[in-house]
Amino acid sequence: MESRELFLHGSRVPDAGPDGELMTLNMGPQHPSTHGVLRLELKTDGEEVAQVRPHIGYLHRCFEKHCEKLTPPQIVPYTDRMDYLAAMNNNLGFAIACERMMGLEVPEKVEYMRVIVAELNRIASHLIAIGTFGLDMGALTPYFYCFRDREMILDIFEEVCGARLLYNYIWVGGLSHDFQDDTDDKILRFCDHFDKRLDTELNPLLSFNKIFVKRTANVGVMTPEQAWSMGASGPSLRGSGVDFDLRRDDPYSVYDRFQWKVCVGEGLMGTVGDCWDRHWVKVLEMKESVKILRQAVAARPKDGDVKEKVPTRVKLPAGEIYCRTETPRGELGFYIVSSGGNQPERVKVRPPAFCNLSVIDEISRGALIGDVVAILGSLDIVLGEIDR
Amino acid sequence: MDFAALVQHLRAALPDAVLEEHPEAFSPWILVRREALGELALLLRDDPALDFNQLMCLSGAHAPSTDADRLWNVLHLFSVRHGHKLALKVVLDAADPACPSVAGVWATADWHEREAYDMVGITYTGHPDLRRILCPDDWQGHPLRKDYVAPATYNGMPLD
Amino acid sequence: MDFLMGNIWLWGPITAVVIAAVITVNALVSVWLERKVSAWMQNRLGPMENGPQGILQTVIDAVKLILKEDIIARGIDRPLFKMAPYIVFGASFAVFAVTPLARGISPADLDVGVFYVLAISSFVAVGIMMAGWSSNNKWSLYGALRGVAQAVSYEVPLSIAVLTVVMAAGSMSLQTVCVAQDGGFWNWNGLALHRNPFLVGSFLIYFIASLAEVNRTPFDLPEAESELVGGYHTEYSGMRFALFFLAEYANMLAAGILASVLFLGGWQPLLPALDFVPGPVWLFGKAYFFVVVQIWIRMTLPRLRVDQLMYVCWKVLVPSALAMLVLGGLWQLMIQG
Amino acid sequence: MAYFGDIAEGLMTAFKGMGITLSRVREKPNTVQWPHEAATTKARTRGELFNNIDDCIGCMNCAKACPVDCIDIVTVKSTKAVDLGRTSNGKKKTLHLATFDIDMAKCCYCGLCVEACPTECLVMTEKFDYSTATVTGLHYSFARMSESDVRAAQEALEEEKRLAAIAAAEAKVKAEAEARAKAEAEARAAAEAAAAPAPAGSEPTPTPEQSAAPDAPQADAGTPAPDAPTA
């Protein structure tokens, strides 16, 4: 075990074998735990990994090219399809970027509802991240429990906007539908159910399971310096102990009105910034999201039209903007250039998972093949967003 | 530091690096002389008064039709310690799309520059591994150029 | 009866056919059990379409596997590739030969029954190695290497734990081991705290090691699907894959049978008064209890990493098994005289 | 002692986890035996698109709103003599719908077309299970006009146009004559008064087809339609 610990702190990168040869192993594009179509080119010495070269682009769907030909309201459904596990957050990021360009103020009611759906979707997305992370570790059952709870969120979304995965709910200037009469109750009921389940079910079954801890603690340690330099964001950044969350530090919408705290990795089971910390930050963040949800549901104004400020014709003024929001995976940035026409000239997306994935080579040198799977799972990538 | 102070600081440190400043933009930006980008990037990262430790985004863009045939290399920077932001823009001639790489300054730039190379064809000098990233390695052309025409076939496969 | 038992040419084929039938039925039942138990634990229903509670689903799956195309990719070492599933299946098939079904009845009551079981079951590793090597696939090779390393390592604590029982019973014959646990469940090795408490420890060690022997979670590294795609059987399809599949479930049952024979009295009834229930019922009941526990563990625990697997074997199970052996022996010397 | 602690913790957490999984056996399953049981859709569920062609005015708003271009509409303008009636919410119909095709295989279920529809005739139903054996099976045609109907409508329109063109030509000649007369009169007046020349007020000739700005918001059926169905 001691020698392994040495690798993990990066003091020893395995050399090529005695005869100077490393085996090239293609993990993916068809592989069960690459979370989509990712290819990792591993250079291995036995079970030890000397280098990881990610190859992306297998799911490239020309999002940025499409945007040149679409009006902003038409782009919103396309943003759904980038990070399909957190479509609300993507809609929100794009809508806010457009609204800032247009100087559009949306009604307070809409802001609160946006926060509610964004936080619900954050929980849903983290649930998948945690469930699939467990699945990568070989724990089958937490995955189903996560999906069961996520289903409640999807039901709420379906009731509100009619779709379960790709919502097209947050529009430039407003929302597509108002909540139904009993949506608030359903959200609160979900919060009660979920809070309880998290502590009595998911944590003892997965987070604190000794095997799980041993598999993830001290594995794939990302230092804060590495994280900043590689542009890691979201739970991957906070897992390294960096206290930074765009919702608090670069506030948008009405996040500054709620009482909540930014969760950071503390190295509870091993080193700060290991896979377990990244997992734990997600668990804690879900609890914070529940807190925000409770406050937002209580505080949200009930009257008013959610489409009141939706322009009949969305026309971005000439100029360029970079606008970033915090999705479950981290910093989602939209760089929009417009020359005042109906369609934006250029929409560049800065996907959080794109930058998070680029860290993988640095943090998995010297790990075992099983660790690479753990690291990949803990980084919580969505290929739809990386490849766009 | 606010934008004006930032620009002042930069002009004092590197007198000929900043060509224009645009404080009125949605995300205020400065136009940087191409040759000075590398030096400026190091200054931005290492000067404790600036301390831009995060490269939020690096975008390549083919400039809007209003601005002739030019490519933009746009960097959005953020400093966690000071909380200030700055956008740098390097304007390149589409015929000579070479631009200094900042991958050695912010590691984030590595993949983003590969993407900009892939999409609009900016060739970054000094980049450690400038390959296509989203398109296949043998793809022809740079899809986000305004004059790009989608090919009819790829390796004999019809593209519809 | 003695005539029958004595005539190997008559008795042998009949036994073989019966065991083959048992293995096949067992695979159908175990797969169904695995699906159903996992579904119940995961708030699902599992297969429901074919037959009541989907009991015929596995039959249909088996038909599908038989009808599927048998793909042998280029670059494969064909003779080894074709032979490997039969070796794996054959090994798990042969283990059943010494199962004590009831008092005095076993297909073959060998004097060295325990030894035979351990020897034959470790033969599976040879098949796994052949499959992994001949597939000419890096993932298969990883699976095979892991599988062999694991099988060889876990053989050690497993054998030591079994040795404790052999020592207590004074015989290597499985029939004798069963007879030694006569007289109600309090006399079963795995529960008999008053007879030899260290056997209970051995029971736990044996069970954990047997999980590794049959490649079940948390020790399913040779076929860890999230790491190695399919492990050593990545390249197999159709009937050859079905043989691996059959062997896996046969191994699960064999491990269960051995555990119940060694530690839960085999065919012994729960209470002496329940003697009228035939021995095989008790034996298979106990064996399937272990199968369900294996499934239950699979549904609960994550998988170990390859170095942790070795750590658990050599640094945890082997020392503690040795301790149980020594202490159990001392106990027998001191207390029972 | 961390060694024994780890072993104990390992066993304890394993048993705890097994307790949790076992206790879930008692809970009711969370799945629905679809298609034996009805799947739960909600009132707003965005499923298959349906167009009530009787209420459709052919305004093309849906086709324009669609981000994936899955709606294909071809209209023929009706002649003045034909009254196509009104929609159920009182909008006047002025266009024959030669084609109204939706390719559900392309549809991305964003619902933008439904929002754009001024007469609420295009709706997303709750139906979500409509898989077909072929992709073309998902190509829905809602228009009810036969080819001969379309041709008849086109001919009628062309006839009307021809008549209108004649009328316009006549009107133009007349207008020109009037203008000339007016100009002459004005010139005379100007000569008389020796004042500044009056502006030549040439009235725009009314064309049968008024072309609106392609992206102007259309609340009503003011959209120009192609004269003949293409392809």
Domain layout of chain C by residue ranges: 3-336
Asked whether B49 and A315 are in contact (CB, 8 A), the reply is no
Give the span between the Cα atoms of B139 and A60, in whole angstroms: 13
Do residues A202 and A96 share a domain? yes
State the best of A99, A101, A244, A322 to mutate against chain B, taking most chain B CBs within 10 Å: A322
In a domain, A94, yes or no: yes
Note the Cα C175 to chain centre separation in Å.
18
For residue A212, pLDDT over 50 is answered with yes
More confident residue, D207 or C311: C311
Note the Cα A286 to chain centre separation in Å.
12
Counting one residue from A and one from D, how many pairs have CB atoms under 8 Å apart? Answer: 78
C225-275: per-residue pLDDT in tens? Answer: 777 877 888 888 888 888 888 888 888 888 888 898 888 888 888 877 777
In a domain, A11, yes or no: yes
Going by C-alpha positions, the residue among B123, B65, D174, C30 that lies closest to residue A339 is B65
C119-164: per-residue pLDDT in tens? Answer: 888 888 888 888 888 888 888 888 888 888 888 889 899 999 888 8
CA angle A191, A197, A200 (to 5 degrees): 140
Do residues A241 and A381 share a domain? yes
A38-44 contacts at long range (C-beta below 8 A, 24 or more positions apart): A38/A357, A38/A376, A38/A381, A38/A383, A38/A386, A40/A360, A40/A372, A40/A376, A42/A369, A42/A372, A44/A369
Separation in Å, CA of C86 to nearest CA in chain D: 35
Cis peptide before C218 (omega within 30 of 0): yes
Q: Which amino acid is at C182?
A: D
Q: Report the pLDDT averaged over residues A38-44.
A: 87
In a domain, A340, yes or no: no
Do residues A217 and A183 share a domain? yes
Rg (CA), chain C: 20
Helix (H, G, I), strand (E, B) or coil at C301: coil
Q: Report the pLDDT averaged over residues B110-127.
A: 89
For residue C168, pLDDT over 50 is answered with yes
pLDDT band at C105 (very low <50, low <70, confident <90, very high): confident
> What is the reported pLDDT for A182?
87
> What is the reported pLDDT for C2?
54
Pairing of strands B29-32, B85-93: parallel
Going by C-alpha positions, the residue among A100, A66, A102 that lies closest to residue A82 is A66
For residue D80, pLDDT over 80 is answered with no
Do residues A94 and A13 share a domain? no
Phi, psi angle pair for D212, to nearest 5°: -90, 165
Q: Does A213 touch chain C (CB under 8 A)?
A: no
Please spell the DSSP secondary structure of chain D, one letter per residue.
-HHHHHHHHHHHHHHHHHHHHHHGGGSPP----TTTSPP---TT---SEEE-GGG-----HHHHH-TT--EEEEEEEPPTT----B-TTSPBP-EEEEEEEEETTT-----HHHHH-SSS-EEE-S------SSGGGGEEE-----HHHHHHHHHHHHHHHHHHHHHHHHHHHHHHHHHHHHHHHHHHHHHHHT-PPPP---PPPPPSSPPPPTTS--SSS-----SS---
Q: Provide the 10 A C-beta neighbour count for residue B8.
A: 14
Q: Report the pLDDT averaged over residues A377-386.
A: 88
In a domain, A345, yes or no: no
CATH of the domain at A147: 1.10.645.10
- What ipTM was assigned to the predicted interfaces of this complex? 0.81
Pairing of strands B29-32, B18-22: antiparallel
How many residues appear in chain A? 388
Q: By mean pLDDT, which of A13-17, A97-101, C166-170 is the weakest?
A: A13-17
In a domain, A203, yes or no: yes
**C-alpha distances in Å from residue A54, one per residue of A29, A37, A372:** 10, 11, 12
Do residues A41 and A75 share a domain? no
Token match 């998070």: residue? A356
**C-alpha distances in Å from residue C118, one per residue of C26, C123, C282:** 21, 9, 23
Pairing of strands B98-100, B123-125: parallel
pLDDT band at B97 (very low <50, low <70, confident <90, very high): confident
Domains identified in chain B and CATH numbers: 3-158 (3.30.460.80)
Cα dihedral: A24, A28, A29, A32 (round 10): 170
* A200 contacts in chain D (CB < 8 Å): 20
Give the span between the Cα atoms of A204 and D17, in whole angstroms: 6
For chains A and C, tell me whether 3 or more CB atom pairs sit within 8 A of each other.
yes
* A78 contacts in chain D (CB < 8 Å): 67
D83-103: per-residue pLDDT in tens? Answer: 777 777 777 777 778 888 888
Task: Count up the domains in chain A and report the number.
Answer: 2
Give the span between the Cα atoms of D16 and A226, in whole angstroms: 37
For residue A9, pLDDT over 70 is answered with no
A336, two tokens: 């929009």
Do residues A46 and A111 share a domain? no
Phi, psi angle pair for D172, to nearest 5°: -70, -45
A336-359: per-residue pLDDT in tens? Answer: 988 888 888 889 999 998 988 888
**C-alpha distances in Å from residue C45, one per residue of B43, C38, C40, C301, D37:** 62, 9, 6, 21, 13
For chains B and C, tell me whether 3 or more CB atom pairs sit within 8 A of each other.
no
Counting one residue from C and one from D, how many pairs have CB atoms under 8 Å apart? Answer: 36
* SS3 letters across A289-344: HHHHHHHHHHHCCCCCCCCCCCCCCCCCCCEEEEEEEEECCEEEEEEEEECCCCCC
For residue A10, pLDDT over 60 is answered with no
Separation in Å, CA of A354 to nearest CA in chain B: 8
For residue A67, pLDDT over 50 is answered with yes
Average pLDDT, chain A: 86
Please spell the DSSP secondary structure of C63-75, one letter per residue.
HHHHHS-----TT
For residue A17, pLDDT over 60 is answered with no
Range of the domain at A50: 3-55
H or E element that contains B1: none
B105, two tokens: 């300054």
A35, two tokens: 């979370």
CA angle B112, B114, B117 (to 5 degrees): 110
Do residues A230 and A312 share a domain? yes
> What is the reported pLDDT for C6?
59
State the best of B53, B108, B115 to mutate against chain A, taking most chain A CBs within 10 Å: B108
Q: b/e string for D131-155 if b means 16 or more Cβ within 10 A?
A: eeeeeeebbbebbebeeeebeebbe
In a domain, A338, yes or no: no
More confident residue, A147 or D209: A147
Which chains have 3+ CB pairs within 8 A of B?
A
Q: b/e string for B108-138 if b means 16 or more Cβ within 10 A?
A: bbbbbbbbbbbbbbbebeebeebebbbbeee
C199-228: per-residue pLDDT in tens? Answer: 888 888 999 998 888 888 788 887 777 778
Do residues A189 and A271 share a domain? yes
Please spell the DSSP secondary structure of A161-189, one letter per residue.
HS-SS----EETTEESSPPPTTHHHHHHH
DSSP summary character for residue B106? -
A-contacting residues in B 75-134 (Cβ below 8 Å):
76, 80, 83, 87, 106-108, 110-112, 119, 132-134
* A249 contacts in chain B (CB < 8 Å): 80, 83
> What is the reported pLDDT for A367?
86
* SS3 letters across A209-228: CHHHHHHHCCCCCCCHHHHH
| β-strand partners of A319 | A338
Chain B residue closest in CA terms to A344 = B64
**C-alpha distances in Å from residue D222, one per residue of C227, D77, D79:** 62, 11, 15
C136, two tokens: 């000419």
A307, two tokens: 């489409």
Give the span between the Cα atoms of C24 and C18, in whole angstroms: 10
**Cβ contact (<8 Å) for D44 and A159?**
yes
Give the span between the Cα atoms of D193 and D185, in whole angstroms: 12
Q: Report the pLDDT averaged over residues B23-27.
A: 83
> What is the reported pLDDT for C113?
83
Q: Does C300 touch chain D (CB under 8 A)?
A: yes
In chain A, which residues touch B (CB < 8 A)?
56-57, 60, 62, 64-65, 68, 100-101, 228-231, 244, 249, 318-324, 331, 333, 335, 337-339, 345-346, 348, 350, 354-355, 358, 387-388
For residue C11, pLDDT over 80 is answered with no
pLDDT band at D212 (very low <50, low <70, confident <90, very high): very low
Helix (H, G, I), strand (E, B) or coil at B71: strand
Do residues A50 and A159 share a domain? no
Q: Which amino acid is at A3?
A: S
For residue A13, pLDDT over 60 is answered with no
**Which residues, 6 or more positions from A32, have their beta carbon under 8 angstroms from its beta carbon?**
C225, C226, C229
In a domain, A200, yes or no: yes
Q: Which amino acid is at C234?
A: T
H or E element that contains A43: strand A39-45
Give the span between the Cα atoms of B89 and D202, in whole angstroms: 53
Scanning chain C, the segments in alpha helix (DSSP H) are: 2-6, 8-41, 57-67, 78-94, 113-121, 124-134, 138-169, 174-179, 197-213, 225-228, 238-263, 279-300, 306-310, 318-334
State the best of B56, B112, B118 to mutate against chain A, taking most chain A CBs within 10 Å: B56
> What is the reported pLDDT for A124?
92
Phi, psi angle pair for A323, to nearest 5°: -130, 130
Give the span between the Cα atoms of A379 and A357, in whole angstroms: 7
> What is the reported pLDDT for A23?
82
Asked whether A351 and A82 are in contact (CB, 8 A), the reply is yes
Q: Within 13 Å of residue C48, how many CA atoms lie on the same side as its CB?
A: 13
Cα dihedral: B11, B13, B19, B25 (round 10): -60
Q: Report the pLDDT averaged over residues A211-237.
A: 88
